[in-house]
Amino acid sequence: MDGIDIATLRELFILPFLTGLVLAVLLPLLGCYLRLRGEWLAALGFSHIAAAGSVLGLPLGLPTTLTATVATTLAALANALIARMGNSQFALMLVLGWAGALFLAANTNQGEVISEGLLRGQLYFSTAGHLVGALITLAGFLLSLHWLNRRLLIQRFFPDYYAANGRTNWHHELLFVVLLVPAVVLGTLAIGALPAFALFFVPAWVAFGLVRSWKHGLWLSAIIGASVYLLAFFIALLMNQPFGPLLALLLALTSVLRLVGPIKGQNSY
């Protein structure tokens, strides 16, 4: 770091660092609920739609955050309308988003650079808007956690509870989407589609293999996400390595922790 003073470092890296840190807590927590709902591929499908939507902003002359949010919201609405459990629709979104992003990129000025950044990660180009968006989404999630947690768990274990009692479930479904969409968009724009997916998927998967209670699962997911993020950020900075792939790699390595977890029955996957 010769020749770079602390003030410069702070100016260059404090904003990306904080943005990534907030997302490293938020995304694993939402990942727990995606696993609860059996929708663990949703983050990857939505993140590729967000990437395609972001690149679409270039020829339209619109802010990429806006077009990414609109595209992801439309995908989330389509998913809610078909109301089908499972991951097939998210696999289709992944394919469409990936192809769309690369096609748009190939036919747009600056598109290739942008799309590569989105797919691989570009944390150091995070903006203050990304940080504010991430903080608002995290605050919204934490404030609604108690209310949302009970309803999502009841829906998983007693699927017709709401219909049987003449209650609609769209309140918590909508809230979950309202939290998920900005998390996916910000994760994709700030960290990259695949590293963001790794934050949604791996910490929850590892934590669920290690702990025995739901509350501990949430805590451990957030801790794994934040710890691995800190490690990846500083290794990438000090050793001049690409952040996104390094984060994904380190997260993947945490999967060995599952080997020391409690023995699971036939229900593991």
Partner 1 sequence: MNSDTQALTLARFKSVCAGYRRPIVGPVSFEIMPGEILGLSGPNGAGKSTLLKALTGVARVFSGTIERRPDLSVAHHRQRPELPPELPLKGRELLALFKVDLSAMPLLLTPLLDKPLSEFSGGEFQFLQSCACLGSNSNLVILDEPTNNLDVQAIEALSGLMDCVGSDRSILLVSHEQSFLSRHCTRLVELA
Task: Find the shortest distance in angstroms from Cβ 218 to partner 1.
Answer: 9
CB of 149 to partner 1, least distance (A): 9
**Which spans of this chain sit near partner 1 (rule: CB under 8 A)?**
35-36, 38, 150, 153-154, 156-161, 163-166, 207-209, 211-217, 262, 264-265, 267-269
- Separation of alpha carbons 27 and 84, rounded Å: 23
Q: How far is the CB of 135 from partner 1 (least distance, A)?
A: 28
In whole angstroms, the minimum distance from the beta carbon of 251 to partner 1 comes to 18
Measured from the CB atom, the residue of 110 and 168 that comes closer to partner 1 is: 168
Under a CB-based contact definition with an 8 Å cutoff, are residues 190 and 48 in contact? Answer: no
> Closest approach of Cβ 22 to partner 1, in Å?
24
Query: Would you say 130 or 151 has its CB closer to partner 1?
Result: 151
| 3-class SS of residue 58 | helix
Toward partner 1, which CB reaches closer, 130 or 172?
Answer: 172
With respect to partner 1, which residue has the nearer C-beta, 61 or 265?
265
CB of 223 to partner 1, least distance (A): 14
Q: Which is nearer to partner 1, 94 or 206 (CB)?
A: 206
Which of 214, 234 has the CB closer to partner 1? 214
